[in-house]
Structure 1
């Protein structure tokens, strides 16, 4: 692909085992926190690019009060831009789930460059298969599935099987014009639109909601 979505880290994923050699296609810039202004390589992979600085800055302004000590899960991680930003800004730990082995390896190298391997874990696995495994409750989840592949709703449902702590925050990025169906326990907190993507930040509230009179 020569043109990529301006606001999605990944719009499509190639099949594993057929990537061949990869070259760096650009740089990911950490925009805040301990690793501020650090530049990290991004592989030349179809549909892969960091979430734009403007979107990340908006999102992390919303998250400021919730980042310190957070346990983070970055699903469909791609470049890991969101999880790395969270580590930079005080998250306790982050797990990055990425199916492409080359992209996962680059993410491991970037964690090493930042001396963050003690707090960052890369899982080279299919996201849905990973979410079907034994859960660890997280306080912050980044969910950026490939567009137009029908993965948003199943991913959200899978997270409810023990992956979310009470009060957890979930950032879901979908293609613009699409209204995702999310679990009844998720309350929409904030929204941001950029290019052909629409990001929504939810907070999980397991308490029952009473219908208004």
Structure 2
């Protein structure tokens, strides 16, 4: 795993210590960020849910996002995110929150995010409920982008609340869908 582009380009990221965390493959990440760059949305505040190694949030920071909050349940992975932020010299622009995504969403009281990325475990039965919870939360504002990494066999809806699907891509045994939050 490495940072693909931006200020931390080429930095290798520390991976998970076990097989409980499945980072997004570099070729999938390259495709995703190529699309996001085309939409010109990588700026402002980013939220990385189910953060794992922090690779997606760190890529956003490297490409010019101002801030990233990382939410990860496992303590060992939170330590790895902090180490990856230090290694890429981006630690001053991010904060790691240890806890569940559900708790973070429910307790959130802050400024909404420009981009939310989530790459949950593929077998998670709560992916769609999490998308809906984000749509109903204070995490988003008009124009917020939501990126969802998912198993190709999981067919996500085109709309979740005020989230409207912009695109969906499949690369081998990985897929991602991109949504935009629209208030009107």
> How far 1:165 sits from its partner (Å)?
1.6
Give 2:91's aligned residue: 117
2:48 pairs, out of 49, 67, 74, with 74
Could you tell me which runs of 5 or more consecutive residues in structure 2 were left unpaired when the two chains were aligned.
Answer: none
Q: TM-score, normalised by structure 2?
A: 0.91
Correspondences of 1:21-32 after superposition (within 5 Å): 28-32=1-5
Per the alignment, residue 186 of structure 1 pairs with: 163
Which residue in 1 is equivalent to 2:153?
Answer: 177
Asked if 1 retains the 8 angstrom alpha-carbon contact of 2:168 and 2:176, the reply is yes
Higher helix share: 2
TM-score (norm 1): 0.79
Separation of aligned partners in 2, 1:192 and 1:180: 12
For residues 47 and 206 of structure 1, what CA distance do their matches in structure 2 show?
37
CA-atom RMSD in angstroms: 1.4
Q: Is the 8 A contact 1:145 1:151 kept in 2?
A: no
8 Å Cα contact 2:28-2:174 kept in structure 1: no
Task: Give the deviation of 1:108 after TM superposition.
Answer: 0.6
How many angstroms does 1:196 deviate by? 2.5
Question: How far 1:126 sits from its partner (Å)?
Answer: 1.0
Deviates more, 1:98-107 or 1:140-149: 140-149
The worse-fitting range, judged by mean Cα deviation, of 117-126 and 46-55 is: 46-55
Aligned partners of 1:29 and 1:40: how far apart in 2? 5
The secondary structure found in structure 1 opposite 2:24 is coil
5+ unaligned residues in a row in structure 1: which ranges?
1-27, 208-213
CA distance in 2, matches of 1:94, 1:32: 17
The answer to whether the aligner puts 1:204 opposite 2:181 as a matched pair is: yes
- Which of the pair has more CA radius of gyration? 1
Counting strand residues as a fraction of each chain, which structure ranks higher?
1
Measured after TM superposition, the shift of residue 195 of structure 1 is 2.6
**Partner Cα distance (1:58, 1:52) in 2:** 10
CA contact (8 A) 1:74 1:142 kept: yes
